[in-house]
Structure 1
Amino acid sequence: MKTDGKPGAGGGGFDALDRRLAHALQLDGRAPFSRIAEVLGVSDQTVARRYGRHRSSGALRVLGLSDARALGEVEWMVRVQCAPEAAVTVAEALARRPDTSWICLMSGGTEITAVCRAASSDHSDALLLEKLPRTPSVVGVTAHCLLHEFCGGPQGLISKSGALTDEEAARLGPPPPDVDPAADPVVLDDADRRLFAALARDGRAPLAELAAVTGWSPTTVRRRLAELRATGALYYDVDYDLRKFGYGAMVALWLSVAPAELAAAGAALAEHPEVAFAGATTGPNNLFASVLCRDVRAVYTYLTTRVAALPGVRTMESAPRIRQIKGPGPLVAGSPAVRGRRR
C-alpha cells in the first residue's frame, strides 16, 4: 500500500514491509516464510519475527476458511433491530454461534448486522426462524440472501493494496481458484470439519498439529489441503487490525440498483480500493458493500464520487459501524475482531 496519504500511510501503523507481508499472506496464507522472504527481499528470520509479533499482539493473523459456495451452503445478510440496552448481549450471543461471522454493532446501537450460513436452502428457514436470538429485546429481523459475491473472501481488500507488484504476487503462486457454480458441492467428512476448525483458529497451524486433530498422516493432511484449495472450498484470509492500515471508518452500504445495471454496478464496486466486500442480495436494497476509509471525510468523498458514478443506483442507505464483535473466523480471545475492529 502506497505511503501517499492513503490508508496505511504512517500514523504508527504497519510500515511498508508489514503491508507487503500481509499481502503475501493474503495470497497464500501457508506459504513458507522462506518463499515470502525471497519475494520481499528480506531474511526468513525477519518475516517470521514480524508475523510472530503481529500475531501475538492480535494485529494480524492468518485464517483458513471454508467457502460457502463450494460447499453448497447459503449465506444470509441479517439485520437485527433490538433495544439499545440489549444490543451487545444479543450480538455476543450471535457471535458464539459457529454458523455466524462478521457480527457488527451499527450506528445508533440498535442494529446488529451479521452473516449467517445455512447448510442449504432447505435449512435456511430453521436458521432464520428458530436459531436466531428470540427475546423481547429483539424487535425486528430482516434477512437478505446473498446471491452473488463480487469481491471479498480470498479476494479481500489487502489484495487491492498494491503492496506487492504483479510480478511479486505471481512468484507466490497462482491466485485462488474461482468456485465453479456448476460443480457438485464439496462434501466434508468429520475429519475435514476438524481440519477446518483448526485452520479457522490458525491458518498456519503446523502439519503435525493438523495431523493430530484429523487422525491423518502429515502427508495426507498436505494432500487434502491441496485438494480443498483446488476446488475453492478452502481459502486463506488475513484478519487484521484496521487501525494498523490507517482505516478509521467502516460503513455498510445498502444500494437499490436497477436490475439491468446490477451486474455492472457490482463489478464496478469490486474494483474500488475502499470496498472490502460487495455482493448482490435479495430485498429492496439489492447490492451490499462494506467500505473502509481513513476517516468520515474520506467516506463523504467516496460516496459523492465513486458511488455517485455507479450505474443504475436508485437509492442508498449507509450505516457506520461502531463496534465489531466477530470477524471472519471463530470468536477467539485476542483476535482483531474481538478487540473491536474489521469488514
Structure 2
Amino acid sequence: MQTESHTSSPGFDALDRRLLSALALDGRASFSRVAAVLGVSDQTVARRYRRLCADGGLRVVVMRDAHRLGEDQWMLRVRCAPDSAPAIAEALAKRPDTSWVGLASGGTEVLCMTRPRSSGDHDDLLLGKLPRTPSVMEIRAHQLLHRFYGGAQSWVSKLGALTAAETEALRPRHEAAPGHVRITPDDEPLLAALERDGRAGYPELQRATGLTESAARRRLAALLASGAVFVDSECDPGIFGHPVSALLWITAAPSALHSVGEALAGHPGIAHASAATGPCNIIASVLARNTADLYAYLSGPLGQLEGVRHVDTTVFLRRIKQLTYRERGR
C-alpha cells in the first residue's frame, strides 16, 4: 500500500486528482472502497477528501437529470447594468429552478441555467420577475434540445488520472433504464437531503425521510439505476490547472449540427455541450489552462471542425451557483 506523501506546498497533487476522478465515477463510494482501488489508506482518503472540501471547493450532491426526466432546460443570457449584475445573479442562484449561475462580460452579463418544473415556473421567471427587475436591459433565452456531453458524464474523467482497471473497479454497477422516468412526490424529502449532501449516510436519510434505512437505500438505488438522478461533484477547476472557463455560443450548419456536437463531446476541455434554440445552435462550456490555451483551442480544434460557421466566446468572471446554491462564506 502506498503512503501519503507530505509536502509543504499548499497545492494539490496527482493523488488528489485520482481521488476526484474516483468520486466523479461514484460520488457515494465509501472511503474504504476508494482507498483499496487507489492503493492508499482509508485515513489518507478521508484526510484528502476533507482538504479538497475545505480548500478546493469540493461538494458531492445528487442531481436530477432533466434530460432523462423529459424536463425543459433553458440557458438565459441576462444583460444588465454593471453595478446590479452581482445582486441579480445572487437572486437567481437562490431560486430552486436554477442549476447554474455565473457572471461574465466584464460583470455586465449574468448567465443562468434554469430547469422549470412547471410552465408556471417558466412564465414566472421569463415573463414576470426578470423583465420587471430594475437594471435588466436584455434577456435572451435558449432552450436546450439535445445533450452531447454533461450530466452524469464528468469533465474530470477526461483527465485520465485513473487506469482502465481502476475505472472499472470504481464504476457503479447499475445501468440506466430506457425511456423517461418519474420522480414521485414521496421522493422529494430524500432528494432534498441528497441535494444538500450527496454523501449523506443512510441513518441521516432515515431521519430526513421517515423511511427505514433499507427503504431509503432501495429507493436511491432505483432512482440512480433509472437515470432519474445521478451523483455529481463540484470543485474548483483551477486545482486541475484549468482556471479559465468560458461559454461558447456556436453556430453550425444544420446538416453538421450533430456531427459537430459529437466531436465537441470528445474534446478534452469541453465540460458540457448541448444543441439549443436561438441565433446559435450549440452551447458549450470549455475549461483552459490560460487565455493562450483558450485561443489555441478556438483557433485549432474548434475552428477546424467542419460545419462550424461562427463562435461567440464569453469568459466567466465568477461562478455564483453550480449544482446547488451555497451562501457566500459557507
Please tell me the TM-score bracket, short chain as reference.
over 0.9
Query: Which residue identity is paired with 2:206?
Result: A
Aligned partner (choices 12, 15, 19) of residue 14 of structure 1:
12
2:163 is the alignment partner of 1:165: yes
Partner of 1:271: 266
2:284 is the alignment partner of 1:289: yes
Change (3 A) 1:122 1:148: farther
Aligned partner (choices 203, 210, 219) of residue 214 of structure 2:
219
Assess if the C-alpha contact under 8 Å between 2:101 and 2:111 holds in 1. yes
| CA offsets 1:113-146 (integer angstroms, 9 cap, x no match) | 0000112567533442124362230011110001
Partner of 2:326: 331
RMSD between aligned residues: 1.9
Aligned partner (choices 67, 70, 75) of residue 69 of structure 1:
67
2:185 is the alignment partner of 1:186: no
Aligned partner (choices 280, 297, 302) of residue 302 of structure 1:
297
Assess if the C-alpha contact under 8 Å between 2:148 and 2:262 holds in 1. yes
- TM superposition shift of 1:311: 2.1
Partner of 1:26: 24
Assess if the C-alpha contact under 8 Å between 1:255 and 1:313 holds in 2. yes
Count of matched residue pairs: 322
Which moved further from structure 2: 113-122 or 63-72? 113-122
| CA offsets 1:277-335 (integer angstroms, 9 cap, x no match) | 11110012010111100100100111111101222111110011111111112334456
- Counterpart-to-counterpart distance in 2, 1:282 and 1:320: 21
- TM superposition shift of 1:37: 0.7
- Counterpart-to-counterpart distance in 1, 2:17 and 2:120: 42
Assess if the C-alpha contact under 8 Å between 1:74 and 1:124 holds in 2. no
Change (3 A) 1:106 1:178: farther
Partner of 2:192: 197
- Counterpart-to-counterpart distance in 2, 1:70 and 1:208: 29
Query: Which residue identity is paired with 2:254?
Result: P
| Percent identity over paired residues | 50
Query: Which residue identity is paired with 2:260?
Result: A
- Counterpart-to-counterpart distance in 2, 1:178 and 1:133: 39
2:107 is the alignment partner of 1:95: no
Partner of 1:340: none
- TM superposition shift of 1:166: 1.6
Assess if the C-alpha contact under 8 Å between 1:257 and 1:286 holds in 2. yes
Gaps of 5+ in 2: 1-8
Aligned partner (choices 125, 129, 132) of residue 130 of structure 2:
132
Partner of 1:119: 117
Name the TM-score, length of structure 2 as normaliser: 0.92
Partner of 1:251: 246
Partner of 2:235: 240
Query: Which residue identity is paired with 2:165?
Result: E
Name the TM-score, length of structure 1 as normaliser: 0.89
Assess if the C-alpha contact under 8 Å between 2:244 and 2:290 holds in 1. yes
- Counterpart-to-counterpart distance in 1, 2:268 and 2:173: 18
Assess if the C-alpha contact under 8 Å between 1:154 and 1:176 holds in 2. no
Q: Per the alignment, in what secondary structure is the counterpart of residue 187 of structure 1?
A: coil
Gaps of 5+ in 1: 1-10, 336-343
Change (3 A) 1:121 1:185: farther
| CA offsets 1:54-91 (integer angstroms, 9 cap, x no match) | 22335312111111123332110000011111111111
- Counterpart-to-counterpart distance in 2, 1:48 and 1:178: 29
- Counterpart-to-counterpart distance in 1, 2:121 and 2:328: 30
- Counterpart-to-counterpart distance in 2, 1:175 and 1:322: 38
Assess if the C-alpha contact under 8 Å between 2:177 and 2:225 holds in 1. no
Change (3 A) 1:274 1:178: farther
Partner of 1:54: 52
- TM superposition shift of 1:109: 1.3
2:106 is the alignment partner of 1:108: yes
Change (3 A) 1:306 1:176: farther
Runs of 4+ in 1 over 6 A off after TM superposition: none
